[in-house]
Amino acid sequence: MNPLGTRLKARAQLAALKVAATLLPSPRPLVLLGADASHKLCQTIAQLGAHHVLIVTDKGLEKLGMIDPIVRRLKRQKLSVSLFTGVLPDPTFSVVEQGLAQLKRDHCDAVLAVGGGSSIDAAKVIALAATQNRKPQKLVGVLKARKPALPLFAIPTTAGTGSEVTVGAVISDDKTHQKALIIDPKVVPLATALDPRLMRDLPAAITADTGLDALTHALEAWISEFANHDTDVYAGAAVRLIFDNLPKAYTDGHDLAAREAMALASHYAGLAINKAGLGYVHAIAHQLGAHYGLPHGRANAIVLPYVLDFNLQAAQKRLAQLARETGLAGSAQDDAVAARRLVSHVRELIASLNIPHHVAGVRHEDFNAIIEAAFHEAHGTYAVPRYMAANDCQQVLEALGQD
């Protein structure tokens, strides 16, 4: 199919997706917010009728001692607890299958995710697959599950993915490391705890990467063709909170007010992308992760300014509006000036967090595969304000590879 035919097909798919997104229920978890909110969540899990909880997390958090207090709290509620610590960054289907096997072996009737986006996404798919009598791979796509998931709860320990509220879960292929997306309202947790105490010892670099992941969600939702009043409320709030609080959390991780604000920002951005979706930043960043092992938040942070530049004219009015709402531009300023000011501020924020401008080791021979996979992800799925041609994406990749 020629490029024009491909774009027309993608536009038709997007039109159908917009109708589906409008009609699709978007459940929201009960949100417990503030210091020690994780303790209250343990009570909530018991109140909602669970008996045996599978905690899904990673070995790093277990070694840091962050899981022990949660286990003790659950046991005080007279709940049985099993611990699955096999989650790795960018979890694969084999990780999900290992967790699913433990859940079935121990006869767990609820799942609690503790960790970043990787742990929460893995827990989502474990809880969903547990009730379907189907392999997790068969759930890839939109609305593939026939039955409700097991009761699912989440305690995010980073402020970035917003996975505790999103209707999607990302799991990677074991061989190719390409990311597969499972979209279904059934994966939204029943309740979540946004507990800043659990985030206070995050390293500065992870604080930066995850915070910029949340900013990417908010900005891509803001300029999406699917954006509406509700998504604007959440995306705009997220951007303001990140601009004001990410530098504080990066500089002083024990600033609990900044940590709490970042947790809320991540949550709001997750709510925004549920309806507005993502864009080229994620489509390209996912491929950088698959090809070069770049962590997702860092990949988004590096790609973001280049894609904003690409959209500067197509999304000019929207970016200018956001610049005014965040106090970066006055009402009398020209749209073009205001939009450029917003993009410049994003670039300045990224630089202040010591994020590099480039990706080490980017190979020209990988460009075709990266472009093809990015377009396969984005076209017909993401309501971007302007379509990229192959040469547009190649220019972004060339800029990313210049050191």
Domains for the chain: give ranges and CATH numbers: 25-199 (3.40.50.1970), 202-401 (1.20.1090.10)
The amino acid present at 284, given as its one-letter code, is I
- What pLDDT score does 142 carry? 85
**Beta strands in 220-365, from DSSP E residues, in sequence order:** none
**pTM attached to this predicted model:** 0.93
Q: Extract the tokens encoding 120.
A: 């929460």
Q: Contact, 289 vs 295, CB < 8 A? A: yes
Length, in residues, of the chain: 403
Strands of the sheet containing 168-172, edge to edge, are 141-142, 179-183, 168-172
Strands of the sheet containing 110-115, edge to edge, are 30-33, 191-194, 152-156, 110-115, 52-56, 80-84
Sign of CA dihedral 8, 399, 205, 95: positive
DSSP annotation of 308: H
Burial of 107 (0-12, 13-18, 19+ CB in 10 A): exposed
* Residues 379/382/383/384 CA torsion (nearest 10 deg): -80
Phi, psi angle pair for 110, to nearest 5°? -155, 155
Q: Contact, 265 vs 241, CB < 8 A? A: yes
- Tens place of pLDDT for every residue, the chain, 403 residues? 445 555 666 666 666 666 666 666 678 999 999 999 999 999 999 999 999 999 999 999 999 999 999 999 999 999 999 999 999 988 999 999 999 999 999 999 999 999 999 999 999 999 999 999 889 999 998 889 999 999 999 999 999 999 999 999 999 988 887 888 899 999 999 999 999 999 999 999 999 999 999 999 999 999 999 999 999 999 999 999 999 999 999 999 999 999 999 999 999 999 999 999 999 999 999 999 989 989 999 999 999 999 999 999 999 999 999 999 999 999 989 999 999 999 999 999 999 999 998 998 899 999 999 999 999 999 988 999 999 999 999 999 999 987 6
Query: How far are the Cα atoms of 225, 281, 357 from residue 278, in angstroms, in the given order?
Result: 10, 8, 21
Category of 336 on φ-ψ map: left (φ > 0), alpha (ψ -120 to 50) or beta? alpha
CA distance 295 to 77: 37
Query: How far are the Cα atoms of 41, 92, 140, 330 from residue 173, in angstroms, in the given order?
Result: 32, 6, 11, 47
